[in-house]
Amino acid sequence: MKFAFFDTKSYDIPSFEKYGNEKGIEFKFFETKLNKDTANLASGCDGVCVFVNDTVDAEVIDRLYELGIKIIALRCAGYNNVDIKYTFGKIHVVHVPAYSPYAVAEHAIAMLLTSIRRIHKAYIRTKDHNFSLSGLTGFDLHGKTVGVIGTGRIGRVFIDICKGFGMKVIAYDKFPAKDSDINYVTLDEIFEKSDIISLHCPLTDETKHIIGKEAINKLKKGVVIINTSRGALIDAEALLEGIKSRRIGAACLDVYEEEADIFFEDVSGHIMDDDTLARLISMPNVLVTSHQAFLTEEALNNIAETTVNNITEFFDNGYSENELCYRCGKTESCKNGRRKCF
């Protein structure tokens, strides 16, 4: 089997080559992202392997279908960049529902600690032999209330870590985890009571801009916001205004709504066209990493292994356990006997 592998980075290749060779899959690695102009690179392939910033809209899906592509293999959990409804009846879609919830949850905590204890600022100072502590005062996590939006695998690991710090945890999820001791509250209570808010929910029509102007007006003054999920969960313009008005005390962002042409790339020699991102980065209380939370050796290995297993399972059995189904409207939890969607 041959697969066109889009948006390739150097760290992707070793694990995918390893598992691909074991299963007889040849990956053709392309640095370019998948879009309407690059879809033809998949000619002669059985499927495509894509990531979070590849474009898989109706136009791209039609072209892939014309090329005989049978499966779109996402090497990530999120699928908001794929028109799942439009793929129905044309091309099957599989994803990696879990690779390492610890990687993302631990990165969220790392960003939080770096921000509130000014680790990044202290590092820069001491490199210049400046050992002053002025302006580096932080605050204890112990006893603080953290509001967690989204209690899937990553959210629950994050909650466990927070409890280890002695934090009070409240959470919101449209579909609460059964048989858990999580203290679920309303979204408004999350906004009003939390000293820290961490986002761990998928991006859907309902969750887009869940942190927007209206929500920010309800926030506890000085709240720290962490986002390691999807950029569009936060209205970046509203976030900027919330920071300028001192309503938001700090922001830790591993994702950004308009990250597609910026994150994962070295644009250090170019003028930043995105004024909102440029202004956010310039803020002393904003910490930005470039969609790095997933990047651990364990996660990369798990992503490659699961993606290859999804592909071989589909071609061997006609379906994959991790197929995203549109037929019943339950995209990730289809009860169609775990058979193919169409």
* Cross-strand partners of 170: 147
Catalytic site residue 279?
no
**Band (337; pLDDT cuts 50, 70, 90):** very low
CB 221 within 8 A of CB 248: no
Out of 95, 118, 209, 230, pick the active-site residue: 230
For residue 318, the model assigns a pLDDT of: 86
For residue 264, the model assigns a pLDDT of: 87
> What does the block give as tokens for 125?
């100072």
Identify the three-state secondary structure at position 27: strand
Catalytic site residue 107?
no
Gap between the Cα atoms of 99 and 65, Å rounded: 28
Q: What share of the chain has pLDDT > 70, as a percent?
A: 95
Gap between the Cα atoms of 228 and 28, Å rounded: 29
For residue 64, the model assigns a pLDDT of: 98
Tens digits of residue pLDDT in 61-74: 999 999 999 999 99
Nearest Cα to Cα of residue 195 among 233, 156, 222, 164: 222
265-292: average pLDDT = 94
For residue 330, the model assigns a pLDDT of: 55
For residue 313, the model assigns a pLDDT of: 94
Nearest Cα to Cα of residue 95 among 260, 310, 336: 310
Helix ranges restricted to H, the chain: 13-23, 58-66, 84-87, 101-116, 119-127, 153-164, 187-193, 213-216, 236-244, 275-282, 297-317
211-226: average pLDDT = 97
Q: Which residue has better confidence, 122 or 178?
A: 122
For residue 250, the model assigns a pLDDT of: 98
> What does the block give as tokens for 80?
């908001």
pTM (2 d.p.) = 0.88
For residue 27, the model assigns a pLDDT of: 98
Tens digits of residue pLDDT in 290-318: 999 999 999 999 999 999 999 999 999 88
Catalytic site residue 92?
no
User: CA distances (Å), 31 to each of 18, 63, 158, in order?
Assistant: 19, 19, 33
Of the listed ranges 165-174, 203-212, 332-341, the least confidently predicted one is: 332-341
Identify the three-state secondary structure at position 310: helix
Out of 92, 153, 291, 305, pick the active-site residue: 291
Tens digits of residue pLDDT in 5-17: 999 999 999 999 9
Sorted by where each starts, the structural domains of the chain and their CATH numbers stand as 2-99+297-317 (3.40.50.720), 101-288 (3.40.50.720)
Out of 95, 107, 257, 259, pick the active-site residue: 259
* Cross-strand partners of 248: 223
For residue 332, the model assigns a pLDDT of: 62
Gap between the Cα atoms of 307 and 51, Å rounded: 11
Of the listed ranges 27-31, 68-72, 235-239, 316-320, the least confidently predicted one is: 316-320
Tens digits of residue pLDDT in 86-120: 999 999 999 998 888 999 999 999 999 999 999 99
33 pLDDT exceeds 90?
Answer: yes
137-164: average pLDDT = 97
